[in-house]
């Protein structure tokens, strides 16, 4: 079955490459001077950072659309064709989509410059509790044992912003001052977000531990000294024994909030909540509205601070 899927994928990619070549051989129907150059990024939060700095100089497209999991998403043919028109690709670092697709995509679009916006970040290595190990199947989860959700952190966001500014300046040296001014403005917003989060979490009522189905807030937890407890077991639904253990941990650590993401089943979170009186809170760490999502997490962990 795995071989069949691999063969189908390779055939799919080969067909798209032929389509790319055909498109490249056609003269453009539009006036190129009227079009903005394109930058492709992996995720919507990256599009937020990139657009904040690039302003009106570039059009920014995300490969993983809203509502899709970047661990398992496969691009559609039109996206691959559009990628051929990009001037650069900004990768987030270690997410499943990139582990599966980046080499093949770049081999077939060699003119595209690739920039890694995770450079300089102090990475968290996954342990077996999260079940992401060192498996080589592209859809097993987080490959190379690196926790990939680096954007869910104000400290990391500053580094991502810096890498994005450097990339844009390299691509378009003539507008460096423009990008620098917008980069400075973005950094101020990120620092303001961090200040608001710290203010909320400093409340005596603020939680010190939280549960989440898929462990996407590891860097957020590290930033603010919190304990993240993942409901997933080995990247899959928890077993009945593990579910009982989670209920016990929820009570022992006085967990008040269980976060659920839209792309994952929330039934196990609701089961734990019913047994412990914990609140289930929907979040979307893949949202374009990065600042709003970071503040939503903090507000859920410190509800009394929000009311003051």
**Other CB atoms closer than 10 Å to residue 279's CB: what's the count?**
13
The reported pLDDT for the residue numbered 80 is 85
The reported pLDDT for the residue numbered 252 is 95
The reported pLDDT for the residue numbered 13 is 52
Label the pairing between strands 86-91 and 38-41: parallel
pLDDT in tens, the chain (308 residues): 444 444 445 544 554 444 443 343 333 333 444 589 999 999 999 999 999 999 999 999 999 988 888 988 999 988 888 899 999 999 999 999 999 999 988 888 999 999 999 999 999 997 543 333 333 333 334 444 899 999 999 999 999 999 999 999 999 999 999 999 999 999 999 999 999 999 999 999 899 999 999 999 999 999 999 999 999 987 788 999 999 999 999 999 999 999 999 888 899 999 999 999 999 999 999 999 999 999 999 999 997 644 44
Question: What are the distances in angstroms from CA 2 to CA 8, 27, 187, 213?
Answer: 10, 40, 45, 27
Phi, psi of 291 (to 5 degrees): -60, -45
Q: How many helices (H) and strands (E) does the chain have?
A: 11, 8
Q: Which two tokens stand for residue 25?
A: 């051989």
The reported pLDDT for the residue numbered 9 is 54
Phi, psi of 88 (to 5 degrees): -155, 160
- Burial zone of 48 (CB within 10 Å; 0-12 exposed, 13-18 middle, 19+ buried): buried
- In sequence order, what DSSP letters do the residues of 219-238 get, joined into one string? HHHHHHT-EEEE--BTTBPP
The kind and range of the H/E element at 116 are strand 113-116
């Amino acid at each position: 079955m795995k071989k069949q899927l691999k063969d189908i994928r390779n055939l799919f990619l080969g067909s798209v490459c032929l389509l790319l070549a055909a498109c490249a051989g056609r003269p453009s129907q539009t006036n190129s001077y009227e079009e903005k150059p394109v930058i492709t990024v992996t995720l919507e939060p990256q599009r937020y950072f990139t657009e904040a700095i690039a302003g009106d100089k570039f059009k920014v497209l995300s490969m993983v659309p809203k509502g899709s999991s970047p661990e398992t998403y496969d691009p559609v043919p039109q996206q691959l064709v559009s990628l051929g028109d990009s001037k650069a690709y900004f990768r987030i670092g270690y997410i499943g989509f990139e582990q599966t697709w980046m080499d093949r995509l770049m081999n077939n679009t060699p003119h595209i410059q690739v920039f890694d916006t995770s450079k300089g970040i102090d990475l968290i290595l996954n342990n077996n509790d999260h079940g992401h190990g060192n498996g080589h199947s592209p859809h097993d989860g987080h490959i190379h044992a690196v926790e990939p959700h680096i954007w869910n952190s104000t400290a990391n966001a500053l580094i991502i912003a810096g890498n994005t500014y450097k990339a844009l300046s390299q691509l378009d040296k003539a507008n460096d001052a423009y990008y620098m001014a917008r980069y400075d403005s973005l950094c101020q917003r990120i620092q303001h977000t961090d200040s608001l989060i710290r203010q909320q979490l400093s409340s005596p009522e603020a939680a010190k531990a939280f549960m989440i189905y898929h462990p996407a807030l590891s860097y957020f937890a590290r930033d603010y000294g919190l304990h993240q407890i993942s409901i997933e077991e080995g990247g899959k639904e928890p077993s009945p024994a593990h579910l009982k253990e989670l209920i016990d941990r929820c009570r022992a650590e006085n967990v008040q909030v269980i976060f659920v993401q839209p792309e994952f089943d929330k039934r196990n979170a609701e089961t734990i909540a019913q047994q412990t009186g914990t609140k289930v809170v929907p979040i979307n760490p893949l949202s374009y509205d990065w600042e709003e999502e970071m503040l939503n997490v903090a507000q859920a962990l410190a509800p009394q601070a929000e009311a003051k």
